[in-house]
Amino acid sequence: MSSSPGIRKQKVLAPDAGLEQLIQDRSHDTLIAVASDRRLTEDLALALLNRRDLPGKVLEELFKNVALAKQKKVRLAIVMHLRTPRHISIPIIRYLYVFELMQVALFPAVPADVKRMAEEAIIGKLANISSGERHSLAKQSSGRVAAAMLLDKEERIMQAALVNPQMTEALLARALRTVEGTELLVAAVCCHEKWSRRLEVKTALLTNKNTPLPQVVQFARELPVNILREILYSSRLDPEVKSYLKSVVEKRTSVLRSRPRRAGEGSLQ
Protein backbone atom coordinates (compact mmCIF):
# COMPACT_ATOMS: atom_id res chain seq x y z
CA MET A 1 0.00 0.00 0.00
CA SER A 2 1.49 3.38 -1.03
CA SER A 3 1.92 6.21 1.44
CA SER A 4 -0.49 9.14 1.40
CA PRO A 5 0.37 12.03 -0.95
CA GLY A 6 2.41 14.79 0.71
CA ILE A 7 3.61 12.56 3.59
CA ARG A 8 7.32 11.85 3.39
CA LYS A 9 8.41 8.50 4.78
CA GLN A 10 11.31 8.72 7.24
CA LYS A 11 14.47 6.90 6.27
CA VAL A 12 15.24 3.74 8.27
CA LEU A 13 18.84 2.64 8.76
CA ALA A 14 20.04 -0.86 8.06
CA PRO A 15 20.65 -2.98 11.18
CA ASP A 16 24.38 -3.10 10.43
CA ALA A 17 24.72 0.65 9.65
CA GLY A 18 27.76 2.21 11.31
CA LEU A 19 26.41 5.06 13.43
CA GLU A 20 29.94 6.34 14.19
CA GLN A 21 30.36 7.29 10.53
CA LEU A 22 26.75 8.32 9.90
CA ILE A 23 26.75 11.06 12.57
CA GLN A 24 29.13 12.93 10.22
CA ASP A 25 26.88 12.47 7.17
CA ARG A 26 25.68 15.54 5.28
CA SER A 27 22.27 14.14 4.34
CA HIS A 28 19.46 15.53 6.47
CA ASP A 29 17.45 12.34 6.01
CA THR A 30 20.35 10.24 7.24
CA LEU A 31 20.92 12.46 10.28
CA ILE A 32 17.22 12.30 11.15
CA ALA A 33 17.34 8.53 10.95
CA VAL A 34 20.46 8.43 13.13
CA ALA A 35 18.84 10.70 15.76
CA SER A 36 15.80 8.43 16.03
CA ASP A 37 17.76 5.17 16.03
CA ARG A 38 17.45 3.31 19.36
CA ARG A 39 21.06 2.06 19.05
CA LEU A 40 22.43 5.60 19.33
CA THR A 41 24.53 5.84 22.49
CA GLU A 42 24.98 8.84 24.77
CA ASP A 43 28.53 9.45 23.52
CA LEU A 44 27.45 9.32 19.88
CA ALA A 45 24.49 11.60 20.57
CA LEU A 46 26.81 14.15 22.21
CA ALA A 47 29.19 13.91 19.25
CA LEU A 48 26.26 14.54 16.92
CA LEU A 49 25.16 17.53 19.01
CA ASN A 50 28.63 19.05 18.58
CA ARG A 51 27.69 19.73 14.96
CA ARG A 52 26.54 23.34 14.59
CA ASP A 53 24.79 22.63 11.26
CA LEU A 54 22.13 20.24 12.55
CA PRO A 55 18.63 20.89 11.21
CA GLY A 56 15.87 21.46 13.75
CA LYS A 57 14.23 18.16 12.75
CA VAL A 58 17.32 16.22 13.86
CA LEU A 59 17.22 17.87 17.27
CA GLU A 60 13.51 17.13 17.50
CA GLU A 61 14.12 13.43 16.78
CA LEU A 62 16.85 13.32 19.43
CA PHE A 63 14.36 14.71 21.93
CA LYS A 64 11.81 12.06 20.92
CA ASN A 65 14.44 9.33 21.35
CA VAL A 66 13.23 8.57 24.88
CA ALA A 67 16.23 6.61 26.17
CA LEU A 68 18.61 9.38 25.10
CA ALA A 69 16.41 12.28 26.22
CA LYS A 70 16.59 10.92 29.77
CA GLN A 71 20.37 11.35 29.80
CA LYS A 72 21.28 14.60 31.59
CA LYS A 73 24.19 15.49 29.31
CA VAL A 74 22.13 14.92 26.16
CA ARG A 75 19.19 16.90 27.51
CA LEU A 76 21.45 19.84 28.36
CA ALA A 77 23.24 19.73 24.99
CA ILE A 78 19.88 19.81 23.17
CA VAL A 79 18.78 22.95 25.06
CA MET A 80 22.13 24.66 24.45
CA HIS A 81 22.25 23.93 20.71
CA LEU A 82 21.77 27.10 18.68
CA ARG A 83 19.30 25.43 16.27
CA THR A 84 17.02 23.73 18.78
CA PRO A 85 13.39 24.81 18.19
CA ARG A 86 11.72 26.64 21.10
CA HIS A 87 9.00 24.01 21.41
CA ILE A 88 11.77 21.53 22.27
CA SER A 89 14.15 23.59 24.44
CA ILE A 90 11.57 25.35 26.63
CA PRO A 91 9.85 22.18 27.98
CA ILE A 92 13.28 20.64 28.78
CA ILE A 93 14.15 23.58 31.05
CA ARG A 94 11.63 22.32 33.62
CA TYR A 95 13.69 19.16 34.10
CA LEU A 96 17.16 20.72 34.41
CA TYR A 97 19.03 21.05 37.69
CA VAL A 98 20.10 24.45 39.03
CA PHE A 99 23.68 24.35 37.78
CA GLU A 100 22.59 23.03 34.39
CA LEU A 101 20.22 25.99 34.17
CA MET A 102 23.14 28.25 35.04
CA GLN A 103 25.09 26.87 32.07
CA VAL A 104 22.12 27.55 29.79
CA ALA A 105 21.81 31.14 31.06
CA LEU A 106 25.51 31.82 30.47
CA PHE A 107 25.96 30.10 27.11
CA PRO A 108 26.28 32.70 24.30
CA ALA A 109 24.49 30.66 21.60
CA VAL A 110 21.28 30.18 23.61
CA PRO A 111 18.47 32.55 22.48
CA ALA A 112 17.67 35.41 24.87
CA ASP A 113 14.14 34.20 25.68
CA VAL A 114 15.38 30.70 26.55
CA LYS A 115 18.13 32.20 28.75
CA ARG A 116 15.53 34.27 30.54
CA MET A 117 13.38 31.22 31.21
CA ALA A 118 16.43 29.43 32.62
CA GLU A 119 17.15 32.41 34.88
CA GLU A 120 13.55 32.52 36.10
CA ALA A 121 13.70 28.80 36.84
CA ILE A 122 16.87 29.29 38.92
CA ILE A 123 15.38 32.23 40.84
CA GLY A 124 12.29 30.15 41.55
CA LYS A 125 14.47 27.42 43.11
CA LEU A 126 16.62 29.67 45.33
CA ALA A 127 14.47 29.23 48.43
CA ASN A 128 14.88 25.45 48.28
CA ILE A 129 18.61 25.04 47.68
CA SER A 130 21.45 24.94 50.20
CA SER A 131 23.54 27.86 51.38
CA GLY A 132 26.59 26.41 49.62
CA GLU A 133 24.75 26.12 46.30
CA ARG A 134 23.46 29.69 46.60
CA HIS A 135 26.98 30.91 47.33
CA SER A 136 28.34 29.17 44.21
CA LEU A 137 25.49 30.59 42.12
CA ALA A 138 26.08 34.09 43.48
CA LYS A 139 29.69 33.94 42.30
CA GLN A 140 29.20 32.28 38.91
CA SER A 141 25.69 32.92 37.61
CA SER A 142 24.33 35.47 35.17
CA GLY A 143 23.82 39.03 36.36
CA ARG A 144 20.06 38.70 36.67
CA VAL A 145 20.35 35.63 38.93
CA ALA A 146 23.12 37.26 40.99
CA ALA A 147 20.91 40.34 41.40
CA ALA A 148 18.21 38.16 42.98
CA MET A 149 20.79 37.10 45.58
CA LEU A 150 21.78 40.64 46.52
CA LEU A 151 18.95 40.46 49.06
CA ASP A 152 19.99 37.10 50.51
CA LYS A 153 19.92 37.00 54.32
CA GLU A 154 23.45 35.56 54.42
CA GLU A 155 26.07 38.28 54.10
CA ARG A 156 28.63 36.08 52.36
CA ILE A 157 26.11 35.25 49.63
CA MET A 158 25.18 38.91 49.16
CA GLN A 159 28.89 39.83 48.99
CA ALA A 160 29.54 37.12 46.41
CA ALA A 161 26.68 38.43 44.24
CA LEU A 162 28.01 41.97 44.57
CA VAL A 163 31.37 41.02 43.03
CA ASN A 164 29.88 38.72 40.38
CA PRO A 165 31.52 39.66 37.01
CA GLN A 166 28.06 39.83 35.38
CA MET A 167 26.69 42.36 37.88
CA THR A 168 25.75 45.72 36.36
CA GLU A 169 25.03 49.16 37.75
CA ALA A 170 21.41 48.96 36.61
CA LEU A 171 20.80 45.60 38.31
CA LEU A 172 22.37 46.79 41.56
CA ALA A 173 20.43 50.06 41.55
CA ARG A 174 17.18 48.15 41.01
CA ALA A 175 17.96 45.94 44.02
CA LEU A 176 18.71 48.99 46.16
CA ARG A 177 15.27 50.39 45.32
CA THR A 178 13.61 47.30 46.82
CA VAL A 179 11.43 48.29 49.77
CA GLU A 180 12.52 45.59 52.24
CA GLY A 181 15.55 43.43 52.95
CA THR A 182 18.32 45.80 51.84
CA GLU A 183 20.04 46.41 55.19
CA LEU A 184 23.10 44.22 54.47
CA LEU A 185 23.30 45.35 50.84
CA VAL A 186 23.21 49.08 51.63
CA ALA A 187 25.95 48.76 54.24
CA ALA A 188 28.17 46.88 51.77
CA VAL A 189 27.56 49.20 48.81
CA CYS A 190 28.11 52.42 50.76
CA CYS A 191 31.73 51.46 51.37
CA HIS A 192 32.35 49.51 48.15
CA GLU A 193 35.33 50.82 46.19
CA LYS A 194 33.66 50.34 42.80
CA TRP A 195 29.91 50.59 43.26
CA SER A 196 29.79 53.53 45.70
CA ARG A 197 31.20 55.74 42.93
CA ARG A 198 28.53 54.98 40.31
CA LEU A 199 25.94 57.65 39.55
CA GLU A 200 22.87 55.39 39.35
CA VAL A 201 23.92 53.53 42.50
CA LYS A 202 24.40 56.73 44.49
CA THR A 203 21.00 57.93 43.31
CA ALA A 204 19.37 54.67 44.46
CA LEU A 205 21.16 54.84 47.81
CA LEU A 206 19.76 58.31 48.45
CA THR A 207 16.24 56.91 48.15
CA ASN A 208 16.90 53.92 50.43
CA LYS A 209 15.79 54.29 54.05
CA ASN A 210 18.76 52.22 55.26
CA THR A 211 21.44 54.58 53.92
CA PRO A 212 23.19 56.27 56.92
CA LEU A 213 22.95 60.06 57.08
CA PRO A 214 26.74 60.62 56.66
CA GLN A 215 26.56 58.77 53.32
CA VAL A 216 23.44 60.75 52.36
CA VAL A 217 25.42 63.95 52.96
CA GLN A 218 28.35 62.64 50.91
CA PHE A 219 26.27 61.47 47.94
CA ALA A 220 24.18 64.66 47.93
CA ARG A 221 27.41 66.62 47.67
CA GLU A 222 28.59 64.55 44.71
CA LEU A 223 25.37 64.35 42.65
CA PRO A 224 24.25 67.08 40.19
CA VAL A 225 21.51 69.36 41.48
CA ASN A 226 19.08 68.32 38.73
CA ILE A 227 19.28 64.68 39.91
CA LEU A 228 18.69 65.78 43.50
CA ARG A 229 15.55 67.61 42.34
CA GLU A 230 14.29 64.46 40.61
CA ILE A 231 14.88 62.44 43.78
CA LEU A 232 12.98 65.02 45.84
CA TYR A 233 9.92 65.06 43.63
CA SER A 234 9.74 61.44 42.44
CA SER A 235 10.77 59.38 45.48
CA ARG A 236 9.36 58.50 48.88
CA LEU A 237 12.04 59.72 51.26
CA ASP A 238 12.66 59.60 54.96
CA PRO A 239 11.53 63.01 56.32
CA GLU A 240 14.99 63.81 57.64
CA VAL A 241 16.63 62.96 54.32
CA LYS A 242 14.00 64.88 52.37
CA SER A 243 14.51 67.97 54.52
CA TYR A 244 18.27 67.77 54.09
CA LEU A 245 18.14 67.28 50.31
CA LYS A 246 15.68 70.16 49.97
CA SER A 247 18.07 72.48 51.80
CA VAL A 248 20.98 71.33 49.60
CA VAL A 249 19.01 71.93 46.40
CA GLU A 250 17.88 75.39 47.54
CA LYS A 251 21.40 76.39 48.57
CA ARG A 252 23.07 75.16 45.38
CA THR A 253 20.36 76.65 43.18
CA SER A 254 20.77 80.00 44.93
CA VAL A 255 24.54 79.91 44.39
CA LEU A 256 24.13 79.08 40.72
CA ARG A 257 21.61 81.89 40.18
CA SER A 258 23.93 84.41 41.82
CA ARG A 259 26.71 83.70 39.35
CA PRO A 260 26.90 86.00 36.30
CA ARG A 261 25.93 84.10 33.17
CA ARG A 262 28.56 84.02 30.45
CA ALA A 263 27.76 84.60 26.79
CA GLY A 264 26.33 81.48 25.14
CA GLU A 265 25.76 79.70 28.46
CA GLY A 266 22.67 77.49 28.58
CA SER A 267 19.76 77.60 31.00
CA LEU A 268 20.16 76.71 34.67
CA GLN A 269 20.20 72.98 35.47
Banded model confidence at residue 268, pLDDT cuts 50, 70, 90:
very low
For residue 228, the enclosing domain spans 172-257
| Inside any domain, residue 222 | yes
Could you give the CA distance from residue 249 to residue 245 in angstroms, rounded to a whole number?
6
Tell which wins on pLDDT, 235 or 97.
97
Domain edge (last residue) among 68, 95, 122: 95
Banded model confidence at residue 20, pLDDT cuts 50, 70, 90:
confident
Is 56 a residue whose pLDDT tops 90? yes
Counting the structural domains of the chain, the total is 2
- Give the residue among 171, 157, 78 at the shortest CA–CA distance from 119: 171
For CA atoms 161, 167, 170, 171, give the dihedral sign.
Answer: negative
| Inside any domain, residue 53 | yes
The predicted pLDDT at position 266 comes to: 52
Region 65-69 average pLDDT: 91
- pLDDT tens-digit series, residues 148-206: 999 999 999 999 999 999 999 999 999 999 988 999 999 999 999 999 999 999 999 99
The predicted pLDDT at position 18 comes to: 81
The predicted pLDDT at position 9 comes to: 59
| Inside any domain, residue 155 | no
Task: Kindly report the average pLDDT of the chain as a whole number.
Answer: 90
Domain edge (last residue) among 67, 95, 123: 95
| Inside any domain, residue 68 | yes
The predicted pLDDT at position 216 comes to: 95
| Inside any domain, residue 42 | yes
The predicted pLDDT at position 173 comes to: 97
Is 1 a residue whose pLDDT tops 60? no
Is 11 a residue whose pLDDT tops 80? no
For CA atoms 203, 159, 215, 181, give the dihedral sign.
Answer: positive
Please count the other Cβ atoms lying within 10 Å of the Cβ belonging to residue 219: 23
Region 84-104 average pLDDT: 94
The predicted pLDDT at position 186 comes to: 97
In angstroms, what is the C-alpha Rg of the chain?
28
| Inside any domain, residue 69 | yes
- pLDDT tens-digit series, residues 69-79: 899 999 999 99
| Inside any domain, residue 153 | no
Tell which wins on pLDDT, 29 or 2.
29
pTM: predicted TM-score of the whole model, two decimal places: 0.82
| Inside any domain, residue 217 | yes
Q: What percent of the chain has pLDDT over 90?
A: 76
Amino acid letter for position 11: K
SS (H, E, C) the chain: CCCCCCCCCCCCCCCCCCHHHHCCCCCHHHHHHHHHCCCCCHHHHHHHHCCCCCCHHHHHHHHHCHHHHCCHHHHHHHHHCCCCCHHHHHHHHCCCCHHHHHHHHHCCCCCHHHHHHHHHHHHHHHHHCCHHHHHHHHHHCCHHHHHHHHHCCCHHHHHHHHCCCCCCHHHHHHHHCCCCCCHHHHHHHHCCCCHHHCHHHHHHHHCCCCCCHHHHHHHHHHCCHHHHHHHHHHCCCCHHHHHHHHHHHHHHHHHHHHCCCCCCCCCCC
Domain edge (last residue) among 42, 62, 95: 95
